[in-house]
Amino acid sequence: MALAEDATAESLTLALAQVPPVEIGDDAVERALSRTDRLAAEAATSGADLLVLPEMHLSGYAIGRGAVEAFAQEPGGPALTRMAEIARTYGVAICHGFPERDGHRVYNSAAFIDEHGTELLRWRKLHLFGDVDARQFDRAGFSDEGLTGEGLVADWRGWSVGLAICYDIEFPETARRLALAGADLVVVPTANMVGFEAVSRLLVPARALENQMYVAYANYTGEDPEFQYNGLSLIAGPDGAPVVAAGAGEGLLIGRISAERLVASRRENPYLEDRRGDMLG
């Protein structure tokens, strides 16, 4: 595990933006960036170290393949550069979802940018959800070296941070692989719909407990032409209990995570140490 047994009681404040999807339109990316600027300012005022935005926040989620291709960003693209500038301006790290172009392929991606505007991690959604994802995105590959060649987790302020996107966290293998890579915190931009409330209430807490990590799950509220989103963003602690949890409405959810609590929980619940790797991998 990344945090040492003698780790101090260092803590981080996270701000999860539970907002409606940006409305479809040619200026969707610009409107999403303007909203990010406002949210980052609010997060900084609240003392947050990290702002987490939902899945495909830069363009909206259920927008169709044509719009995904039109809005897709290459590394160093103008919208990603602007996102880095926002992080630097407010001194707040940002995790956000966006459509990523790689040659002729387009992925559902998320990036973790530190407070200096440096991208530390990028993740491409591994588990495509139903027809909506299959129509819009290409399926990402995976390797133990990570999705961008930089590893599965990154060190940020003494914490080992990993990413997943929405449906990914519903598969125990995703969180377990990140845990085995040393993750203390897994950040999950999501677009979860009405009817799937069990993800927030059961699966996300279970992923945190069984892997002895924090999981920050930032969802949409409101609707787009295809879906109604259920909100219920939360930060789940290593004991499976919510550090903080939202209802269905719009807002910025603020929660604090503690290294001391994480170390103590790992002593009490040594699941990763006790697992039968010879049987289950």
What φ, ψ does residue 8 adopt, rounded to 5°? Answer: -75, 175
Using the predicted structure, report yes or no on whether residue 145 has a pLDDT greater than 70.
no
Rounded to the nearest integer, the mean pLDDT of the chain is: 93
Identify the pLDDT of residue 43: 98
Neighbours of 80 (CB within 10 A): 20
> What is the pLDDT averaged over residues 28-34?
98
Q: Which of 94, 116, 96 is nearest to 41 (CA)?
A: 94
Q: What angle do CA 177, 181, 184 make, to 5 degrees?
A: 100
CA pair distance 99, 12, nearest whole angstrom? 28
Using the predicted structure, report yes or no on whether residue 150 has a pLDDT greater than 70.
no
Identify the pLDDT of residue 2: 55
pLDDT digits (tens, 9 = 90+) for 188-230: 999 999 999 999 999 999 999 999 999 999 999 999 999 999 9
Q: What angle do CA 249, 255, 260 make, to 5 degrees?
A: 155
Using the predicted structure, report yes or no on whether residue 126 has a pLDDT greater than 90.
yes
Using the predicted structure, report yes or no on whether residue 148 has a pLDDT greater than 70.
no
Identify the pLDDT of residue 279: 81
> What is the pLDDT averaged over residues 140-144?
74
Furthest-apart CA pair in the chain: how many Å?
53
Q: Which of 12, 79, 8, 82 is nearest to 52 (CA)?
A: 12
Confidence of residue 1 (pLDDT cuts 50, 70, 90): very low
Q: Where are the alpha helices (DSSP H) in 62-162?
A: 65-71, 78-90, 130-136
CA pair distance 234, 52, nearest whole angstrom? 11
Using the predicted structure, report yes or no on whether residue 8 has a pLDDT greater than 50.
no
Residues annotated as part of the active site: 55, 125, 166
Identify the pLDDT of residue 147: 54
Residue 249 three-state SS: coil
